[in-house]
């Protein structure tokens, strides 16, 4: 497998060094694509110091825009699969072997922060509510069990990316949800692996109320498209 890593980055100067240092044990810098989404801190400097494939957007355009650009670059570089991991270092590269073990059975493998139905680490209450609700609704819509709809730690096969990315138009966090809806509708399979998660002091870029409303709009749009 020619596995590439994709990291959307926004003001991640404090977390990127540790993440990139650990990631290189599994995926080399020349196959690590970092999309700097208009950061205003020293993210640019950190990326250059670690020798990854760094691309810079002039202003913040949203996670969806960064992911679409990164997927396109990875596919043009010959990736057979792309593993996305968030730049806040909540996810541990040490869990990557779990994704590789499961990848032969699914088109999409997503990290699950649940174990026996419960979250494996303390999670802010708004995030618990948002994650639980979106996962339940997506499970019903896709007719597949969705354990963790919002986890950004994912491995996606090339064929799935080629087919689904052009169908997605969300620019922000809803891109990942939109991707799952289209993928399930087109018959691609979704699997999950249990992962560890670390919640640091860094504030999430998610806007729970606004993103919840965007999720409702996306679901309504998807229902009427069936």
| Structure-block tokens of residue 127 | 């995030």
pLDDT tens profile 31-79:
999 999 999 999 999 999 999 999 999 999 999 999 999 999 999 999 9
Alpha-carbon 126 to chain mean position: 19
Alpha-carbon 177 to chain mean position: 10
Q: Provide Rg for the chain, Cα atoms.
A: 16
State the Cα–Cα distance between residues 63 and 175, nearest whole angstrom.
8
Rounded (10°) CA dihedral 22, 52, 63, 57: 150
The whole model's pTM is what?
Answer: 0.85
pLDDT tens profile 153-164:
999 999 999 999
Query: Is the confidence at residue 120, as pLDDT, over 60?
Result: no
- Name all domains of the chain by residue range, CATH numbers in brackets: 3-225 (3.90.550.10)
């Amino acid at each position: 497998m020619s596995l590439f890593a994709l990291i959307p980055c926004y003001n991640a100067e404090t977390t990127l060094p540790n993440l990139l240092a650990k990631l290189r044990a599994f995926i080399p810098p020349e196959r690590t694509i970092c999309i700097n989404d208009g950061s205003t801190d020293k993210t640019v400097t950190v990326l250059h110091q670690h020798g990854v494939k760094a691309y810079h957007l002039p202003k913040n355009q949203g996670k969806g825009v960064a992911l679409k650009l990164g997927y396109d670059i990875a596919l043009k570089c010959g990736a057979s699969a792309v593993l996305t991991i968030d730049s806040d270092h909540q996810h541990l590269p040490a869990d990557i072997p779990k994704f590789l073990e499961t990848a032969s059975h699914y088109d999409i493998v997503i990290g699950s922060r649940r174990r026996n139905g419960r979250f494996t680490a303390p999670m802010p209450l708004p995030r618990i509510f948002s994650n639980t609700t979106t996962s339940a609704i997506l499970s019903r819509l896709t007719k597949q069990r969705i354990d963790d709809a919002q986890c950004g730690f994912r491995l996606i096969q090339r064929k799935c990316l080629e087919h689904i990315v052009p169908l997605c138009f969300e620019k922000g966090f809803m891109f990942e949800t939109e991707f799952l809806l289209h993928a399930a509708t087109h018959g691609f399979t979704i699997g999950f692996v249990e992962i560890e998660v670390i919640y640091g002091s860094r504030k999430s870029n998610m806007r729970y109320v606004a993103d919840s409303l965007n999720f409702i709009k996306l679901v309504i749009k998807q229902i009427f498209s069936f």
